[in-house]
C-alpha cells in the first residue's frame, strides 16, 4: 500500500483556573469510528479522545492520511472538552490544516477527559481496495502545561478497510503454445491493477488456470538423425529418421537415397569411332559417345584445287584429316557501301547488288527553331553515313516555367515569366526540435519544407508525467533484479509513486547468491559395479556454477547365489585350455571345445582327427556327439572347474567335460596364465 502523507496539524491552547492535577496513568490520544469498512463515496467520521489528562495548557498532534484514498471533509467540535477560538482553512498544497483551541481562562489547565474533535474524511471515487492505517502522532515539543513544561502523550490508531470495485486495466497476454516438453499458456488478459486474469478484453470472464497441457505433436528445439546410410554407385543409401531431442519421439521417417553416380576415370578411353570413361569404383563403361570433331582448315580450297581440314574430337582429343572439295564460282560483294539519294547497297565487281536498303537517318539539330525563325537539322544514315539537310518549322508560343520555386506562407509553385503558376502544392514540412519540451516549460520546433526550403517555427506543448508500473524482478544467483517502481516515459526517470513525486535513482536489487534458478547439472556420477561402489553425483547450479547438494554413495552390486557365469571374453592359454572371463569379474579355466572344422570358441584351431582310440589323451567335440571311451590310466581323471561362487571344500556343480586328460597339462596352463597376468 502506498500512502502520501497529508498532515492534519491541530494546536489547541487550553486555559484553566485550576491547579495541575498529576495522574499516575500515562496520558494518551485515541481515535475511533463507527464504520471501519467503507467504499468509494462514503464519509467516515474519526473521533479524537483525550484520556488520563494530566492537565494541559496547549496540545498539538497530527493525523497522516493517504490523499489517494481520502479527502478532508470538515471537522466538528460538538461536546468538545475545549473551546473553539479559531479554525484555519484546509491547505491542499501542504495537505494540512490547523486548529487553535482555548479554554475559558487564560491561566488554567484543562484537566478533564473526553472528546477533542470529530474529523470527517470523504472516500475518493478513485480509491483502491486495501487496508489504510489512520494514526495520531502527538507533537511532544508543543504539548505543554500552564507552567510551560512539555508533556509526553501516547498516540493511538485504527485501520479502515476500503472495498473498491476494480476498474480493470487489461493487458493482452499472447498465447504460448505447448510443446512436446513444456506446457503452454492460452491467450488471456491480465489486469495490472488487481492482478486477476480474464478470457475476454472486457474483464467479465475470470479464469484461474491459463496453462495448456503438453502437446506431444509440437516438437521444438534440436533434432537428431538416426539410421543414416550413405549411398554409393553400387548400393542405395538412406537419409535417416528424424528424432526429437527434447522428448525422444520419432518425428519423420527417412527416404531412400538413389545410388550415386559413377566416378569416371580422369582420362578418356577411345577407338576410331567412339570414346568413353571407366568408373574407378566398379569398372562400368561410362559416357560412351561418338567422336565430336571440331574442324580447322589446313589448306583452303579454290575453284582449281581441293583443300585439307583437320578434325579434333572436342571430348577426347582424337584426331583425323579429310579433304575439302574444290569451290564453285560465287559472287564476292565488297565491304564498302555504295549509295544514292534514296538507298545504299554492297556491290560485286561484276556489278551485282546485295543488301539494298532505304537510308535510315539519325537527325541532329544544327540550328534551333524559335517563334521567329525556322531551324535546320542534319540527317546521317546510320548504315552508310550518307548526309542530307532539312528545315525545322517555327515554334508555337508555349509557357516556360522556371526551375526555381516561388512560395508564400502556405504554398510553393513554379512560375512562368508571364506570371502563370504550375505545380502549386501545400508546404511539406520536415520538423526538427530546437528546444525540448519539459514538464515545466514549452518546447520549440523548426519546420523546413522538403520541396522549396520555406521555414517556420511552432511551440511544443509542455510534457506531463506518463507513469508506467514496473513490478519487482527478483535477483538470483547470477543476475541482479529490479525493485517495484514507476517509470515516466517522458522524462525517463524512476519514481516510488504513480504521481511521480519521489524519484528513485537506483532500482537495482543486488545478486542473491542463495537464489538458484534455471537448470541443475549432475556431476561426478558413477554407476556401481560388482567390484566398486557407485556415486549418485553432486548437484551444481548451471547459472553460477555453485555446489547445491552433495551426492551419496551407491553400494557395490552383489551377485546372487544363483548367478550363472557366462562367457564374455576368452584368453587362449595353450593347445588344451583357455581362460573364460565373466562380466562379474570372475574367471575360470575351460577345456577347448572344437567343432567339426577344428576351431574352438576362443579361436584356437587344430587339425581334425577321428575319434580317439583307447589310451589316447586328446578328444574333439563334433556337431554329432561321439561317445568317449571309458578307458583311463591310474593317473588320469576327468577334472571339474569351480564356478566363481563355489566355496572351498564343497563339491562343484559344474558338469564333467567328458574329456580324458592328465592333470599335469592343466597345472602348466594355469601357471602360464598367472605369469602372463603378472
DSSP code string of 521-550: EEES-B---SSS-EE--EEEETTT--EEE-
DSSP 172-215: EE--B---SSS-EE--EEEETTT--EESSTTS-SB-S--EE---
pLDDT score of 171 = 92
Q: Return the HEC string of 256-306.
A: EECCCCCCECCCCEECCCEEEEEECCCCCEEEEEECCEEEEEEECCCCCCC
Domain of 82, in residue numbers: 9-162
Question: Span 210-229, mean pLDDT?
Answer: 89
Let me know how many helices (H) and strands (E) the chain has, helices first.
1, 55
Residue 101 lies in a domain: yes
Query: CA-to-CA distance for 383 and 374, rounded, in angstroms?
Result: 29
Q: Are residues 152 and 16 in the same domain?
A: yes
The shares of helix, strand and coil residues in the chain, as percent rounded to the nearest 5, are 5, 40, 60
Dihedral sign from CA coordinates of 139, 141, 145, 146:
negative
Among candidate residues 130, 162, 194, the one where a domain is terminated? 162
Q: Are residues 60 and 77 in the same domain?
A: yes
Residue 254 lies in a domain: no
Q: Are residues 157 and 194 in the same domain?
A: no
- Would you give the distance in Å from CA 319 to the centre of its chain? 66
For 379-425, the pLDDT digits (tens) are 999 888 888 888 989 887 778 888 888 898 889 999 887 778 888 99
Q: Are residues 109 and 175 in the same domain?
A: no
Q: Are residues 147 and 18 in the same domain?
A: yes
| Most confident stretch, 102-106, 207-211, 414-418, 617-621 | 207-211
Residue 632 lies in a domain: yes
Residue 640 lies in a domain: yes
Q: Return the HEC string of 90-104.
A: CECCCCECCEEEECC
Instruction: Quote the number of domains for the chain.
Output: 5
- Would you give the distance in Å from CA 224 to the centre of its chain? 21
Of the candidate ranges 77-91, 247-261, 286-300, 439-453, the one whose mean pLDDT is the lowest: 77-91
Contact at 8 Å (CB) between 554 and 533? yes
Cell numbers 538458484 correspond to what residue?
516
What dihedral angle (degrees, nearest 10) is formed by the CA atoms of 72, 78, 81, 85?
Answer: 70
Q: Are residues 24 and 140 in the same domain?
A: yes
pLDDT score of 262 = 85
Q: Are residues 525 and 626 in the same domain?
A: no
β-pairing verdict for 43-51 and 70-76: unpaired
Among candidate residues 178, 193, 227, the one where a domain is terminated? 227
Name the percent of the chain lying above pLDDT 70. Answer: 79
Q: Are residues 646 and 537 in the same domain?
A: no
pLDDT band at 11 (very low <50, low <70, confident <90, very high): very low
pLDDT score of 623 = 36
Contact at 8 Å (CB) between 469 and 504? no
Q: Which helix (H) or strand (E) holds 663?
A: helix 663-677
Among 39, 98, 89, CA closest to 69: 39
Cell numbers 518425428 correspond to what residue?
251
Contact at 8 Å (CB) between 571 and 670? no
Q: Are residues 222 and 113 in the same domain?
A: no
pLDDT score of 613 = 43
Q: How many C-beta atoms lie closer than 10 Å to residue 634's C-beta? A: 5
Residue 16 lies in a domain: yes
Write phi, then psi, for 623 (nearest 5 degrees): -60, -45
More confident call, 465 vs 677: 465
Averaged pLDDT of the chain = 78
Residue 317 lies in a domain: no
Q: Are residues 475 and 593 in the same domain?
A: no
Q: Are residues 145 and 190 in the same domain?
A: no
For 323-344, the pLDDT digits (tens) are 888 887 778 888 888 888 889 9
Q: Are residues 53 and 121 in the same domain?
A: yes
Among candidate residues 162, 182, 206, the one where a domain is terminated? 162
Residue 281 lies in a domain: no
On the question of pLDDT at 631 being above 90, the answer is: no
pLDDT score of 572 = 61
Longest alpha-carbon distance in the chain: 163
More confident call, 90 vs 432: 432
Three-state DSSP at 677 gives helix
pLDDT band at 240 (very low <50, low <70, confident <90, very high): very high
Residue 599 lies in a domain: yes
Amino acid at each position: 500500500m502506498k500512502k502520501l502523507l497529508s498532515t492534519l496539524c491541530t494546536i489547541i491552547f487550553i486555559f484553566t483556573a485550576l491547579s495541575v492535577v498529576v495522574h499516575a496513568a500515562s496520558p494518551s490520544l485515541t481515535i475511533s469510528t463507527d464504520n471501519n469498512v467503507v467504499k468509494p463515496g462514503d464519509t467516515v467520521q474519526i473521533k479524537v479522545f483525550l484520556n488520563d489528562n494530566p492537565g494541559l495548557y496547549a496540545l498539538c498532534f497530527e493525523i497522516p492520511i493517504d490523499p489517494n484514498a481520502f479527502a478532508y471533509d470538515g471537522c466538528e467540535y460538538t461536546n468538545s472538552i475545549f473551546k473553539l477560538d479559531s479554525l484555519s482553512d484546509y491547505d491542499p498544497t501542504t495537505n494540512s490544516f490547523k486548529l487553535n483551541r482555548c479554554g475559558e481562562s487564560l491561566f488554567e489547565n484543562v484537566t478533564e477527559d473526553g472528546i477533542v474533535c470529530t474529523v470527517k474524511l470523504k472516500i475518493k471515487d478513485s480509491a483502491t481496495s486495501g487496508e489504510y492505517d489512520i494514526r495520531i502522532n502527538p507533537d511532544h515539543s508543543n504539548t505543554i502545561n500552564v507552567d510551560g513544561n512539555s508533556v509526553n502523550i501516547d498516540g493511538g490508531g485504527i485501520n479502515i478497510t476500503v472495498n473498491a470495485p476494480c476498474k480493470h486495466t487489461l493487458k493482452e497476454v499472447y498465447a504460448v503454445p505447448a510443446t512436446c516438453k513444456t506446457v503452454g499458456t492460452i491467450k488471456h488478459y491480465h489486469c495490472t491493477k488487481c492482478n486477476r486474469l480474464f478470457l475476454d478484453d472486457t474483464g467479465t470472464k475470470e479464469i484461474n488456470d491459463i496453462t495448456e497441457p503438453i502437446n506431444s505433436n509440437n516438437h521444438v528445439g534440436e533434432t537428431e538423425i538416426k539410421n543414416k546410410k550413405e549411398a554409393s554407385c553400387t548400393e542405395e543409401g538412406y537419409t535417416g529418421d528424424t528424432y526429437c531431442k527434447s522428448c525422444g519421439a520419432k518425428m519423420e521417417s527417412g527416404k531412400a537415397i538413389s545410388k550415386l553416380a559413377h566416378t569416371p576415370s580422369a582420362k578418356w578411353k577411345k577407338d576410331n569411332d567412339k570414346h568413353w570413361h571407366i568408373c574407378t569404383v566398379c569398372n562400368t563403361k561410362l559416357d560412351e559417345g561418338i567422336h565430336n570433331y571440331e574442324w580447322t582448315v589446313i589448306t583452303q580450297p579454290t575453284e582449281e584445287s581441293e583443300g585439307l581440314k583437320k578434325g579434333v574430337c572436342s571430348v577426347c582429343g582424337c584426331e583425323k584429316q579429310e579433304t575439302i572439295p574444290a569451290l564453285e564460282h560465287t559472287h564476292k560483294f565488297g565491304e564498302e557501301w555504295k549509295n544514292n539519294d534514296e538507298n545504299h547497297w554492297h556491290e560485286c565487281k561484276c556489278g551485282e547488288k546485295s543488301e539494298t536498303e532505304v537510308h535510315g537517318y539519325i537527325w541532329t539539330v544544327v540550328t534551333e527553331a524559335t517563334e521567329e525563325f525556322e531551324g535546320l537539322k542534319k540527317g546521317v544514315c546510320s548504315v552508310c553515313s550518307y548526309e542530307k539537310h532539312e528545315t525545322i518549322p517555327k515554334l508555337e508560343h508555349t509557357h516556360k516555367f522556371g526551375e526555381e520555386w516561388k512560395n508564400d506562407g502556405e504554398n510553393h509553385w513554379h512560375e512562368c515569366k508571364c506570371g502563370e503558376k504550375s505545380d502549386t502544392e501545400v508546404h511539406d514540412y520536415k520538423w526538427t526540435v530546437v528546444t525540448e519540451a519539459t514538464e515545466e516549460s514549452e518546447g520549440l520546433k523548426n519546420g523546413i519544407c522538403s520541396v522549396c526550403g520555406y521555414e517556420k517555427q511552432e511551440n511544443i506543448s509542455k510534457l506531463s508525467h506518463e507513469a508506467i508500473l514496473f513490478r519487482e524482478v527478483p535477483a538470483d544467483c547470477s543476475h541482479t533484479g529490479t525493485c517495484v517502481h514507476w517509470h515516466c516515459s517522458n522524462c525517463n526517470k524512476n519514481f516510488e509513486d504513480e504521481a511521480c513525486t519521489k524519484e528513485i535513482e537506483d532500482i537495482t536489487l543486488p545478486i542473491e547468491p542463495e537464489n538458484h534458478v534455471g537448470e541443475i547439472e549432475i556431476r561426478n556420477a558413477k554407476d556401481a559395479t560388482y567390484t566398486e561402489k557407485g556415486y549418485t553425483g553432486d548437484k551444481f547450479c548451471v547459472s553460477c556454477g555453485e555446489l547445491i547438494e552433495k551426492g551419496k554413495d551407491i553400494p557395490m552390486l552383489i551377485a546372487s547365489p544363483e548367478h550363472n557365469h557366462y562367457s564374455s571374453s576368452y584368453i587362449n592359454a595353450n593347445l588344451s585350455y583357455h581362460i573364460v572371463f565373466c562380466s562379474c569379474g570372475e574367471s575360470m579355466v575351460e577345456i577347448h571345445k572344437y567343432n567339426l572344422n577344428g576351431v574352438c570358441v576362443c579361436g584356437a584351431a587344430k587339425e581334425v582327427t577321428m575319434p580317439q582310440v583307447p589310451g589316447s589323451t586328446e578328444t574333439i567335440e563334433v556337431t554329432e556327439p561321439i561317445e568317449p571311451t571309458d578307458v583311463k590310466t591310474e593317473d588320469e581323471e576327468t577334472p571339474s572347474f569351480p564356478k566363481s561362487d563355489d566355496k572351498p571344500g564343497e563339491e562343484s556343480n559344474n558338469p564333467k567335460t567328458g574329456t580324458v586328460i592328465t592333470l599335469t597339462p592343466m597345472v602348466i596352463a594355469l601357471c602360464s596364465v598367472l605369469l602372463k597376468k603378472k
